[in-house]
Amino acid sequence: MTFDRICIVGLGYIGLPTAALFALRGIDVVGLDINTDAVERINRGETHIVEPGLDDAVRRSVRNGTLRATTEPEPADAFLIAVPTPFLSNRNAKLPDLSYVEAAARSIAPVLKAGDLVILESTSPVGATEQMAEWLASERPDLSFPQTHGEDSDIRVVHCPERILPGHALRELVTNDRVIGGMTRACAAAARDLYRCVVEGECIETDARTAEMAKLTENSFRDVNIAFANELSVICSKLGINVWELIRLTNRHPRVNILQPGPGVGGHCIAVDPWFIVAQAPEEAKLIRAARETNDSKPEWVLDKIRDAVAEKPDSAKISCFGLAFKPDIDDLRESPALEIVSRLVQEYPGRVSVVEPHIEELPPCLNGSAALVPIREAIDAEICVMLVDHSHFRNSPPPNGQNTTVIDTRGVWLR
Ligand code: SAJ
């Protein structure tokens, strides 16, 4: 199958790098987004998200005419949907919110034609791709879909989860293997032809439900392993053992590979996706749920450590926090445990909290006015220094060495 024009629905952290990559391979790419500001910026050759190499890729593809953005759906041969799939929390459960997927599907339905391919890339609960196909079919009774017409359907529907690591998007989009989950074999084969235009990794075909579960499994695997490390760090603190040294030593075993503890798990993926499994199998997903709860409880444990340290200092003691991002060497503060901790500290200890975050130029609105953004040389003199994000910048700087300084290192930067 050949593709003259593709449409990427959702120009965020996944959609925009994907759009730029296809456009740089000479394919005519239309990016569809509801954010008019983002659309205008992209059409000027600029980006609204931070990702190494993306500025250049967008600038070049807009300049050579293969990438443009719009808020109005247009016909294309393939549609890749990369919109958010958050969860809705209530007191009893965390349920996947497919409203963005539904809105995206209904928005492209009017421009679909026989032979088109629709791919859901957003991380989704099992069954979401079939649900998306139902939404498309309800909008277009004149076209046939795989759920009713199998291999002969007019429209091919696929789930192909994105698996890139933020900060390495452009490289991983090319080198990672892709799991291609077709609602039928013909659907998967069509999507494989499309991804082969840009992917150098293997394109492995399966069914849509297995592909959905594969993505959720990858992130749950990582979450469970981080929870193990976080639990170890709490146990080691109680027993007076350096957890970083412990993990270094145990990882010398040929079949042990423990991840690193931290102040909690952030970002929009690992802290969210395991809940999709829990929501669909609440009785069975015991370990996956326990891991989520362990990781979610870590910021409060860190706050208790800081409160204990503050209680031993004079009332004027200053607290410096190192890092706000959700992980090292990026500027992304989304669902960041570091930000959660600092936001609580400024409420509990007003006027005493400073922050070092080399990747941002001003504090987010929730901290503006209640904390100071300072350089590392100023922060290091505080009576309490809290390491929250292992940015390279911090690893390459000397640790605090004041005689009366209490160090709380959640990332093993100073206390390795
Ligand atoms: N973290 C730890 N200890 C570790 C590793 C990570 O505390 O040893 C924390 C990080 O600090 C961060 C959180 O976990 O707060 C998540 O960071 P991450 O680097 O593990 O993952 P993400 O969210 O940036 O990207 C993940 C990746 N999934 C896997 O590695 C299985 C990526 O490949 C996915 O594409 C992405 O989720 C996604 O979009 O789902």
Q: Which domain holds residue 361?
A: 241-409
Q: Which of 89-93, 99-103, 122-126, 144-148 has the lowest mean pLDDT?
A: 89-93
In the listed set 201, 228, 254, which residue is the last one of a domain according to the structure? 201
The Cα angle at residue 95 between residues 89 and 97, in degrees rounded to 5: 95
The pTM of the full predicted model, rounded to 2 decimals, is 0.94
* pLDDT per position as a tens digit, 195-206: 999 999 999 999
* Residue 92 confidence class, pLDDT cut points 50, 70, 90: low
Q: Note the pLDDT of residue 91.
A: 64
Tell me how far apart the terminal alpha carbons of the chain are, to the nearest angstrom. Answer: 54
197 and 249 inside one domain: no
Query: Active site residue: 160, 203, 215, 327, which one?
Result: 215
Q: Is the pLDDT of residue 368 over 90?
A: no
Q: Is the pLDDT of residue 415 over 90?
A: no
DSSP letters spanning 65-124 = TSEEEESS----SEEEE-----EEE-SS-EEE--HHHHHHHHHHGGG--TT-EEEE-S--
136 and 255 inside one domain: no
CATH code, domain with 106 = 3.40.50.720
* pLDDT per position as a tens digit, 267-284: 989 999 999 999 999 999
215 a catalytic residue: yes
* Residue 396 confidence class, pLDDT cut points 50, 70, 90: very high
* Residue 306 confidence class, pLDDT cut points 50, 70, 90: very high
* CA dihedral over 127, 128, 130, 135, signed as positive or negative: positive
179 and 255 inside one domain: no
Number of structural domains the chain divides into: 2
Minimum CA distance residue for ligand 1 atom 28 = 219
366 a catalytic residue: no
254 and 168 inside one domain: no
Which residues lie with the beta carbon below 6 Å from any ligand 1 atom? 123, 162-166, 218-219, 222, 226, 259-260, 262, 265-267, 269-270, 326-327
Ligand 1 centre and the CA of 164: distance in Å? 10
